[in-house]
């Protein structure tokens, strides 16, 4: 973040100097939805709430360029000036997120097309094809105008490219997409021979004899070619990245020193954009996160997403661009947040490296599709519970300023996360349609939390990147878990084998190591990519029906079960069997295996989806074997999460009570001298910390590397 230089504000006071530590606090600000008389009130209330940054102009293209040949920046000039005069920095959007009606009337060929050939018409937002050259021409002209006009504005702190790229338009099956897909495929494969090989087109008479025959996977009579589908997912992520780069290039040329971001959506089942791949294209990672009220593991999902965002950012600070103060409007049923939840959710993001906590939006709209979405300033006005919470929390964040700039501490358990596997593993025509990639990854993360341990969600892509140091992203992890890592190119399999042979413990989950980068089976028995390392071999899958379970015996809690999928594993002589199926498709067959490797490392396999208690117990066992012990006492594990950030000299410990009851955490002598930084209703005693329901305490101690 680049904060504005110190200057005199409208009320005669001095703003903070640019280098003063602070946590960003604010929202999307849409002043164009309000008469200008309201703006003065906005400024007063923003200052009261402690707002120091807003995102501006996100959906304002139609007002900024009312016709193809006219521009109206007057209102935006006045809004930026006013914000600056009130000491509020601006994350300025390039305003390209939603094209104006004149553009789509003039050029209907920019409108996206669905898989079944329907046009996505204007009336909502983001109705543009990522690959449309016409859209790009108009959008980039707007970016140029914005960049030139505001380049030297002292409030300009950051550029916000478009908005949630791909939220509604990641998959476009139009003719523009078809032509860009062919270009992408030519670059990837070089020749039709190679494409035909990769796509396995000998199957079902699909051999292509000219590039022009190739299409996006539009509605087909039956299961479309899986590699075509996978490549289309890859291409679609790349097409948006390419668009992002085009906007970025203009901004970099005109304002080389202004940081550039675009808001990711690392949340829930949003999967179209490979953000681990995009992150290198921007200066600062920012993320939008919303809880799904119907999700019984909403807290764990938030924590997972915040952690993954931090890993995507290389454990450097990132920017929470949007979350909600209370209810959203777009779920089937929307619920207000419970008391303390705004604080708890915000501090959970902060604990995972966010250096800014922002919301959608500043003032709740009176009209439009989002009029029932919460905001910092709700319909009820400033004398509302939400505004009071917002104001209280703003003051609290100001007190946490010293945390800004610190990095998240690396956990000792890494859970691999991979968009290719997410896309490929959930394609049709598999042993089961019931397995869900994100659910599997989440299950392992939740099991770590239930053991009082933090795990990192490590993008598999990072294992192969870096200066020729395959596996370096895994340094420092005692245990690396590969949940449902279905698609494993040979270099990734090699890097993971190196990790385990070098002394780490690699745990391979169900339906992993099955296919190569082209989604072709690794032959010779499953899980082909890991068969040798694990010392096992399976010949068949046993899919289980929804609700069907198999009993497990062995070193697991009594009554443990598996579900969704089983493998008929046979094991080599040096493999220890930790659990077996008692019934189901493969009675008596090993369900969990482990093999000690010559270098002191270990490779284990879990061949079914363990129930929660069984998975928790298993993660407890492998962590203990790796010498990991929870810093939390047993009675609070699974209710309290401890996440740690560290600066050069300090450690910041976030104790997050995500349960609905008060808990007391016994502190250990090994925790060292803990001082309170922000208790927010918790009580810190010499040997204990008591947290109210949904309470979060931020403690601090000097950093020493030796501490477990």
Which residues are catalytic, by number? 164, 322
- CA distance to 20, 93, 442, per residue, from 130 (Å): 39, 18, 31
Q: State the CB neighbour count (10 A cutoff) for residue 242.
A: 16
Q: Does 167 bind ligand GAL (CB under 6 A)?
A: yes
Stretch that binds ligand GAL, among 109-117, 150-158, 162-170, 306-314 (CB under 6 A): 162-170
Residue 581, beta-bridge partner list: 552
End-to-end alpha carbon distance in the chain: 32
Residues of this chain, 657-696, that bind ligand GAL according to CB under 6 A: none
Single out the residue of 180, 250, 306, 328 in contact with ligand GAL (rule: CB under 6 A): 328
Residue 493 CB, nearest approach to ligand GAL (Å): 37
CB nearer ligand GAL, residue 235 or residue 278: 278
CB nearer ligand GAL, residue 59 or residue 541: 59
Q: Does 345 bind ligand GAL (CB under 6 A)?
A: no
CB nearer ligand GAL, residue 322 or residue 396: 322
Residue 330 CB, nearest approach to ligand GAL (Å): 6
Q: Does 322 bind ligand GAL (CB under 6 A)?
A: yes
Token couple for 95: 């305003």
Q: State the CB neighbour count (10 A cutoff) for residue 223.
A: 12
Stretch that binds ligand GAL, among 159-167, 292-300, 310-318, 448-456 (CB under 6 A): 159-167
Task: Give the integer Cα–Cα distance in Å for 540 and 567.
Answer: 6
CB nearer ligand GAL, residue 165 or residue 192: 165
Q: Does 94 bind ligand GAL (CB under 6 A)?
A: no
Residue 214 CB, nearest approach to ligand GAL (Å): 33
Binding mask 272-311 for ligand GAL (x = CB under 6 A): ----------------x-x---------------------
CB nearer ligand GAL, residue 290 or residue 318: 290
Task: Give the integer Cα–Cα distance in Å for 226 and 207.
Answer: 14
Stretch that binds ligand GAL, among 161-169, 486-494, 603-611, 700-708 (CB under 6 A): 161-169
Residue 310 CB, nearest approach to ligand GAL (Å): 20
What is the spatial order of strands in the sheet that 688-691 belongs to?
A: 663-666, 688-691, 683-684
Is residue 448 within 8 Å of residue 619, measured between CB atoms?
yes
- CA distance to 165, 576, 708, per residue, from 503 (Å): 41, 18, 19
Is residue 334 within 8 Å of residue 385, measured between CB atoms?
no
CB nearer ligand GAL, residue 58 or residue 192: 58
Closest to 339 (Cα-Cα) out of 685, 699, 27, 680: 680
Residue 291 CB, nearest approach to ligand GAL (Å): 11
548 CB-contact burial (10 Å; exposed 0-12 / middle 13-18 / buried 19+) = middle
Single out the residue of 163, 305, 421, 604 in contact with ligand GAL (rule: CB under 6 A): 163
Is residue 453 within 8 Å of residue 641, measured between CB atoms?
no
Q: DSSP string covering 426-473, please?
A: TSSSSS-S---HHHHHHHHHHHHHHTT--EEEEEHHHHH-SSS-TTGG
Q: Does 350 bind ligand GAL (CB under 6 A)?
A: no
Residues of this chain, 361-400, that bind ligand GAL according to CB under 6 A: 370, 373
Residue 470 CB, nearest approach to ligand GAL (Å): 37
CB nearer ligand GAL, residue 65 or residue 163: 163
Residue 167 CB, nearest approach to ligand GAL (Å): 6
Element holding 615 (H helix, E strand): helix 612-625
Stretch that binds ligand GAL, among 144-152, 160-168, 461-469, 573-581 (CB under 6 A): 160-168
Backbone angles phi and psi of 480, in degrees to 5 = -120, 125
CB nearer ligand GAL, residue 263 or residue 608: 263
Residue 234 CB, nearest approach to ligand GAL (Å): 23
Closest to 291 (Cα-Cα) out of 316, 262, 325, 314: 325
Closest to 400 (Cα-Cα) out of 8, 697, 151: 697
Is residue 524 within 8 Å of residue 514, measured between CB atoms?
no
Residue 383 CB, nearest approach to ligand GAL (Å): 24
CB nearer ligand GAL, residue 390 or residue 500: 390
Token couple for 427: 């394609």
18, 19, 25, 29 alpha-carbon torsion, rounded to 10°: 20
Q: State the CB neighbour count (10 A cutoff) for residue 318.
A: 27
127, 131, 135, 137 alpha-carbon torsion, rounded to 10°: 160
Q: Does 516 bind ligand GAL (CB under 6 A)?
A: no
Residue 363 CB, nearest approach to ligand GAL (Å): 14
Single out the residue of 304, 319, 360, 423 in contact with ligand GAL (rule: CB under 6 A): 360
Q: Does 164 bind ligand GAL (CB under 6 A)?
A: yes
Residue nearest to ligand GAL (CB): 360
CB nearer ligand GAL, residue 286 or residue 561: 286
Task: Give the integer Cα–Cα distance in Å for 592 and 550.
Answer: 13
- Interior CA angle at 652 toward 16 and 386, to 5°? 60
Q: Give the interface size with ligand GAL as a residue count (CB under 6 A).
A: 10
> Which residues form the interface with ligand GAL (CB under 6 A)?
163-164, 167, 288, 290, 322, 328, 360, 370, 373
């Amino acid at each position: 973040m680049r904060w504005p230089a110190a200057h005199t504000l409208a009320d005669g006071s001095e703003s903070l100097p640019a280098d003063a530590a602070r946590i960003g606090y604010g929202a999307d600000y849409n002043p164009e939805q309000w008469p200008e008389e309201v703006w003065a009130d906005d400024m007063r209330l923003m200052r009261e709430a402690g707002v120091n940054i807003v995102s501006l102009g996100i959906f304002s293209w139609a007002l900024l360029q009312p016709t193809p040949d006219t521009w109206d920046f007057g209102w935006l000039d006045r809004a930026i000036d006013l914000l600056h005069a009130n000491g509020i920095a601006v994350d300025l959007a390039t305003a390209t997120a939603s094209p104006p009606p004149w553009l789509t009337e003039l050029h209907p060929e920019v409108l996206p097309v669905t898989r079944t050939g329907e046009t996505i018409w204007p009336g909502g937002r983001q109705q543009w094809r990522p690959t449309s050259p016409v859209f790009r021409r108009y959008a980039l002209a707007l970016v140029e105008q914005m960049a030139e006009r505001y380049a030297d504005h002292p409030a300009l702190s950051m550029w916000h490219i478009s908005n949630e790229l791909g939220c509604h338009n990641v998959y476009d099956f139009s003719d523009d997409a078809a032509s860009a897909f062919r270009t992408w495929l030519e670059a990837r494969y070089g020749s039709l021979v190679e494409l035909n090989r990769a796509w396995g087109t000998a199957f079902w008479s699909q051999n292509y004899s000219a590039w022009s025959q190739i299409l996006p996977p539009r509605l087909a009579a039956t299961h479309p070619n899986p590699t075509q589908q996978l490549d289309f997912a890859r291409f679609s992520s790349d097409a948006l990245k390419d668009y992002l780069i085009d906007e970025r290039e203009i901004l970099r040329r005109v304002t080389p020193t202004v940081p550039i971001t675009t808001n990711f959506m690392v949340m829930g089942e949003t999967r179209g954009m490979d953000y681990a791949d995009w992150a290198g294209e921007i200066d600062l990672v920012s993320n939008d996160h919303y809880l799904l009220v119907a999700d019984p593991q909403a807290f764990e999902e938030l924590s997972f997403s915040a952690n993954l965002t931090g890993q995507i950012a290389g454990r450097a600070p990132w920017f929470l661009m949007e979350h909600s103060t209370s209810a959203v409007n777009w779920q089937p049923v929307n619920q207000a947040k419970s008391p303390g939840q705004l604080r708890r959710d915000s501090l959970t993001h902060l604990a995972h490296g966010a250096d800014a906590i922002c919301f959608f939006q500043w003032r709740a709209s009176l009209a439009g599709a989002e009029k029932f979405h919460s905001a910092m300033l709700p319909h009820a006005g400033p004398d509302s519970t939400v505004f009071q919470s917002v104001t209280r929390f703003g003051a609290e964040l100001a007190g946490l300023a010293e945390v800004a700039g610190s990095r998240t501490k690396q956990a000792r358990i890494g859970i691999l996360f991979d968009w290719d596997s997410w896309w490929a593993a959930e394609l049709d025509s598999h042993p089961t349609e019931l397995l869900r990639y994100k659910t599997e990854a989440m299950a392992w993360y939740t099991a770590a939390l239930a053991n009082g341990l933090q795990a990192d969600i490590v993008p598999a892509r990072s294992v192969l990147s870096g200066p020729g140091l395959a596996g370096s992203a895994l340094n420092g992890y005692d245990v690396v878990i590969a949940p449902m890592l279905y698609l494993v190119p040979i270099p990734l399999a090699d890097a993971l084998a190196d990790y385990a042979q070098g002394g780490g413990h690699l745990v391979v989950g169900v339906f992993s190591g099955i296919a190569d980068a082209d989604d072709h089976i690794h032959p010779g028995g499953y899980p082909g990519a890991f068969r040798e390392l694990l010392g096992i071999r399976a010949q068949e899958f046993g899919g289980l029906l929804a609700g069907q379970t198999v009993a497990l015996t062995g070193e697991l809690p009594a009554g443990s079960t598996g579900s969704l999928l089983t493998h008929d594993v046979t094991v080599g002589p040096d493999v220890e069997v930790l659990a077996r199926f008692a019934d189901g498709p493969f009675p008596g067959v090993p369900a969990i295996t482990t093999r000690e490797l010559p270098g002191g490392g270990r490779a284990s396999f879990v061949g079914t989806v363990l129930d929660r208690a069984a998975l928790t117990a298993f993660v407890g066992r492998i962590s203990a074997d790796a010498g990991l012990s929870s810093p939390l006492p047993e009675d609070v594990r699974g209710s309290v999460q401890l996440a740690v950030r560290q600066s050069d000299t300090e450690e910041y410990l976030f104790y997050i009570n995500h349960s609905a009851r008060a808990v007391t955490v016994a502190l250990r002598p090994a925790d060292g001298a803990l001082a309170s930084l922000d208790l927010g209703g918790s009580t810190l005693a010499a040997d204990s910390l008591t947290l109210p329901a949904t309470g979060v305490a931020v403690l601090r101690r000097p950093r020493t590397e030796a501490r477990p």
